Structure formats: C-alpha cells, structure tokens
Amino acid sequence: METYLVHLGHMPYQEAWDLQRQVGAGVKSGALPDTMLLVEHPPVYTVGRSAHDSLQNLLWDDERRRAEGIELYMVDRGGDITYHGPGQLVGYPIIDLTRHGRDLHRYLRRLEESIIAALQYFGIDAVRKPPHTGVWIDQEKVAAIGVKASHWITQHGFALNVNPRLEHFAGIVPCGISDKGVTSMARMLGRPVNLGEVTPVVERELARTFGFEYREVDLEALTGAVRASG
C-alpha cells in the first residue's frame, strides 16, 4: 500500500498542524495516499480536548514558559497535555482507517507495537501500561500517543523521547498522569542518541505493522500534491 513518507525536519507546531489538516483533506478525498509526516518541533505544550477547560495539569505560568521558550496550543486530539521539543521524534500518520480495519483502539495499539519494536532494536525493553495509552519503561513514559480520527482519517500521532530536554516536562503533569515519570532513549542507554539513527528504525517498524510501502516525497512535492487535490 503506497504511503507518502515526508521528513519535515524542524518545523513550528502551528505550521505542521495546518499541514496535517490539509493532507487529511486530501487523504479523505482520495487525492492523496496515506501519508506519514515525521518532524521535530521547537518547544511546545499541546493540550488535548479532555483538558481544554481546566488546564490543571499546566504547571508553568506564561512568564515561565516565555523564559523557557515554550509555546502553548489547544488542539483537537484526544488526551491531556504533553510536550514536544528538540530531540523528540514526532510522527503524524495521516491514514484512512477504512484501509486498516475501522478500529481506533486497534490503531493505537499498533502504534504502540511499532514503537516498542523499534526500542527493542536498541536493546530497550518497553511495554504498554493499560489503561494508559503510550509506551513505557517501568514507571516512566518514553513515548506519548494522542490521536484524532474524523471520517476514519487520522491526525496527530506519537512523540518518542529520543534525547529531549526532560526538564521541560516539569512544567506539566504529562498526559495528566501524576504518579509516573518521563524518560528518554538517551537516558536509558546512557549515551547520546540522535534522531538520525532512530528515525529509520521507527519507519521500518511502522511499515511492518501497517503494511506501508513508502514513497519518499519532500515538502515541496507534498504541498504541490495538496494544492492539486483541491
């Protein structure tokens, strides 16, 4: 099944969110195939639908966030609050679940499965921890997952902590879970790890799990396809 694979590099959150919506419309219309966007964001907290009203899990005020250079967005995915930043591999699979068995819970489990397998390649034993979504090492989360599906077209996705600034997680209660921590691949391996060595492994495991056959396209080609799709 052909799937566009797009490496966005460093991209502001709003720009990537806008792109997700444009690509999603193209996938929905059938003008674009399933598309995998991979990106690294500047520091940002994003708040899912379940936490829009209270913001009780946002701990740092505006002044502290400005000092740390962290933006804040209220977004339309499920879940609570999370962090994205440099050193974190963020993946946005924009796929039509009618081609992958119209089951959102199964989709979430398959994302987890892919990341667990990628971590295992590096010698890291990671697990699921029901009822929480995501990927865990003991009592610490190494990958957060939060998605949206409209008309069976997915948006948002996963964030794998490769080597981010873990101190930025102190400004939130990650995913609203107060009794567990956050970790990274670099911390678990005890050495520097970069996205360049991790990304191909994650791509491979996603392809294996979902049956993707990647066609790599650049951002210019993708935006051209989006414009052509209407």
Residues that are catalytic: 175
- CA 120, CA 104: separation in Å to the nearest integer? 25
Grouping H, G, I as helix, E, B as strand and the rest as coil, residue 184 is coil
Collapse the DSSP code of 72 into the 3-class scheme (helix H, G, I; strand E, B; otherwise coil) and give the result.
strand
Determine which helix (DSSP H) or strand (DSSP E) holds 118, and give its type and residue range: helix 104-121
CA–CA separation, 153 and 186 (whole Å): 33
CA nearest to 206, candidates 34, 87, 80: 34
Contact by Cβ (8 Å): 36, 100: no
Give the C-alpha distances (Å, rounded to integers) separating 105 from 61, 102, 147.
Answer: 34, 9, 10
CA distance 45 to 106: 26
Phi, psi dihedral angles at 81 (to 5 degrees): -100, 145
